[in-house]
Amino acid sequence: MRLKFDEQLTQLNNLLIEMGGMVEKAISSATKALIEQDVKLAKSIIGSDDDIDLKEQEIEDLCLKIILQQQPVAKDLRLVSSVLKMVTDIERIGDHATDISEITVFLAETEHPDNFEHIPKMAEATIKMVGKSIEAFVKKDLDLAKEVIDYDDVVDDLFDVVKNEIIQMIKKDEIGADQAIDFIMIAKYFERIGDHATNIAEWVVFSLTGKGKHEGHRGK
């Protein structure tokens, strides 16, 4: 019985790695499409969101199968129930990559402002957080999970920088109001991706220690 359970857990790890890779690619591609104003790429990201949703469903189905067949208790049950929570955050990350791509399509005919370096830095930081949060789960690495949680401050600080830069550009008439709102929304989506990666890392901590997430999910 335990051998079958271990095989299912390995399958679960592999599926999570696949889904994590899908959303990392979505974020990276969404950033590239935004910077290069590549409408075709942006639309492909929007179209691929269904694949992420299907992967979420596959993982949820396996989790429920494990619970019904293996009836795990204690740490094993925490692990499987944490995965059920984590995939919701991973799926939301995919949604935000789609949100960014939809704005990219809308902005395609508008020239970008000159000062545009911090949004790509936000993207880079969130990709790192997502990858490391999944890695922390697979490797059962508590220190790595805590590193992701702490790193969220970097993304939050970058969001504040982007917001303040856009405010200054508005004051100097370097950007229109509608475009300013769109870029702030893009930055906000990246900031939310960081929040979801933090949630994943916090679920990793809970699955390993039983502490933290029983107090409530941030659910951003």
Long-range contacts: 13-16, Cβ < 8 Å, 24+?
Answer: 13/137, 13/138, 15/55, 15/58, 15/59, 15/62, 16/59, 16/83, 16/86, 16/87, 16/90, 16/134, 16/137, 16/138
Residues 107-155: tens digit of each pLDDT: 988 888 766 789 999 999 999 999 999 999 999 999 999 999 999 999 9
Domain-located, residue 90: yes
Predicted pLDDT of residue 213? 60
Q: Which pLDDT band, with edges at 50, 70 and 90, does 217 fall under?
A: very low
Residues 194-206: tens digit of each pLDDT: 999 999 999 999 9
Residues 123-144: b if buried by 16+ CB within 10 A, e if exposed: bbbbbbbbbbbbbbbeeeeeeb
Domain-located, residue 61: yes
Distance CA 11, CA 207 (A): 17
The range of the structural domain enclosing residue 211 comes to 2-215
Predicted pLDDT of residue 220? 46
Backbone angles phi, psi at 217, to 5 degrees: -90, 140
Residues 81-102: tens digit of each pLDDT: 999 999 999 999 999 999 999 9
Residues 16-47: tens digit of each pLDDT: 999 999 999 999 999 999 999 999 999 999 99
Domain-located, residue 220: no
Domain-located, residue 206: yes
pTM over 0.85: yes
Given a contact cutoff of 8 angstroms between Cβ atoms, the answer to whether 130 and 197 are in contact is yes
CATH number at residue 46: 1.20.58.220
Distance CA 8, CA 4 (A): 6
Q: Which pLDDT band, with edges at 50, 70 and 90, does 72 fall under?
A: confident
